[in-house]
Structure 1
Amino acid sequence: MIKSFLITASLSIFLFSSQQIVLVVANDMNSSSAKLECYEGSNKVFETMSVNLGKNGLGWGAESREFQKKPDEALKYEGDKKAPAGIFSLSAIFGYAPKSNYKMPYLYAEKNLICVDDTNSNFYNQIIMAQGDEKSFEYMKRNDVQYKTGIVVDYNKKSARGRGSCIFMHIERAPKSPTVGCTSMSEKDIKKIAGWLDKKKDPILVQIPKKSSKKVLKLYPQLKNSELLK
């Protein structure tokens, strides 16, 4: 059985010491689109990219204690079609190719590899080999290209029931097409990011609404030149 990278891979990572940051900034919590920048230290690595978020925008994630949530702002829950807002480790890359040369752990999306989204399952929010009795899950090998190359976002690491599961960065279904909770983009852009990520540099995703820019700059002053945070 393959234990999920979503839960175990980055428990020892101290997020604020990350050397690689994938920064995603949306206009507000209701936005289904955003802009993305990649940083290594204080250096911006690629041109700014356009990405898609959840159909219903953002919801504060289970691990978003660094940010002050307003009373009218939603939390992320299972099935709400919101992408999680907060700071999350990026722990693995997955894809349809049997082998890879990425600088990250790699999951081959073979036929029976699944991610469990059943909130009552002991394997909730885990990527495992199908046992045959799972009630609700998604196959990691899809009938389209969306998971041809993807990145595992370490969201809801403690598998809090109902707070959301199976959060990835992956190829978009179509340009400007929102997701059911992930962050999607063009195949060209996801391949750039996947090839750049390095486990030794503790990569993270910082995904926020614009209003949280000041807080992010306090946590990560190396992002002071980011156009997205101005």
Structure 2
Amino acid sequence: MADDFNSQRATLSCFEENKPVFDSFKVNIGKGGLGHGLGEVEFAHSPLEPLKQEGDNKAPIGVFTLDAVFGYEEDIKIKMPYLYATKDLICVDDSESSFYNQILKTPKVMPKSFEEMRRDDAQYELGIVVGHNKEQIRKAGSCIFLHVESSEDAPTAGCTSMKLEDIQKIVSWLDKSKNPILIQITKSQKDEVLKLYPMLKLEE
């Protein structure tokens, strides 16, 4: 949960059956703050509140599935689908491409714009795919992940980043059979979340 739409930092809390699993910790979010995204739940919003768009450096607000884990290790023992981040694995952020917002091996016809999932730094050493904009709505935002931070207090291009040891804890805990989700909000959506999940103990 972040303070407001302009926040570049947020607090991440992990729950299972409405009980905290780990101590909460700070994470980095978008350079542009947050905007309403496309997930499993659409929160009420005024026309003055920003919507997530491609290239706006905003992290998406909403309730999103957590679909898979990716990383630089060839194989890890976890309870989630795993994508080995080889040099030919990309995520497409070209909204004109039919592969928009998909992670795939490099196709024969390359999109104009894409992210390499095997980077020269450690940011994608371990990460989690966030189910934002699954319908591939053009220009609505793509390639949203939880991943390793580049440095402490360094905002992202729209993802959520954290220390390696924190994401390792989350990856070890997640279980696809339990349908894990990410609830990413500002404090202004807190009441709506508590209507959906009344037993959650959200921190101020």
1:169 to 139, 146, 151: 146
Q: Does 1:187 align with 2:164?
A: yes
Q: Does 1:134 align with 2:111?
A: yes
**Aligned residue in 1 for 2:182:** 205
Equivalent residues in 2 for 1:90-109, closer than 5 Å: 90-109=66-85
Structure 2 stretches lacking a partner, 5+ long: none
Q: Secondary structure at the match of 1:89?
A: strand
**Aligned residue in 1 for 2:54:** 78
Structure having the larger proportion of residues in helix? 1
* Cα separation, partners in 2 of 1:28 and 1:181, compared to 1, 3 Å: same
Letter of the aligned partner of 2:193 in structure 1? V
Letter of the aligned partner of 1:155 in structure 2? H
Deviates more, 1:200-209 or 1:128-137: 128-137
Shift of 1:65: 5.0
TM-score normalised by L of structure 1? 0.86
Alpha-carbon distance between aligned partners in 2 of 1:206 and 1:222, rounded to the nearest angstrom? 14
Q: Does 1:68 align with 2:82?
A: no
Shift of 1:226: 2.4
Shift of 1:211: 1.0
Alpha-carbon distance between aligned partners in 1 of 2:36 and 2:17, rounded to the nearest angstrom? 26
Alpha-carbon distance between aligned partners in 2 of 1:108 and 1:136, rounded to the nearest angstrom? 21
Aligned length, in residue pairs: 203
Q: Does 1:51 align with 2:31?
A: no
Letter of the aligned partner of 1:138 in structure 2? E
CA offsets per residue over residues 155-197 of structure 1, 9 Å max, x none? 0000000000000000001000000000000111011111100
CA offsets per residue over residues 28-73 of structure 1, 9 Å max, x none? 0110110010000121000111000000100100237531112211
Q: Secondary structure at the match of 2:169?
A: helix
Mapped contact 1:149–1:190 kept (Cα < 8 A): yes
**Aligned residue in 1 for 2:15:** 39
**Aligned residue in 1 for 2:90:** 114
Letter of the aligned partner of 1:113 in structure 2? L
Q: CA RMSD in A?
A: 1.0
Mapped contact 1:64–1:85 kept (Cα < 8 A): no
Q: Secondary structure at the match of 1:222?
A: coil
The runs of at least 4 aligned residues of structure 1 exceeding 6 Å deviation read none
Q: Secondary structure at the match of 2:185?
A: strand
TM-score normalised by L of structure 2? 0.97
Structure 1 stretches lacking a partner, 5+ long: 1-24
Q: Secondary structure at the match of 2:170?
A: helix
Mapped contact 2:39–2:131 kept (Cα < 8 A): no
Alpha-carbon distance between aligned partners in 2 of 1:65 and 1:91, rounded to the nearest angstrom? 16
1:157 to 122, 134, 139: 134
Alpha-carbon distance between aligned partners in 2 of 1:226 and 1:83, rounded to the nearest angstrom? 20
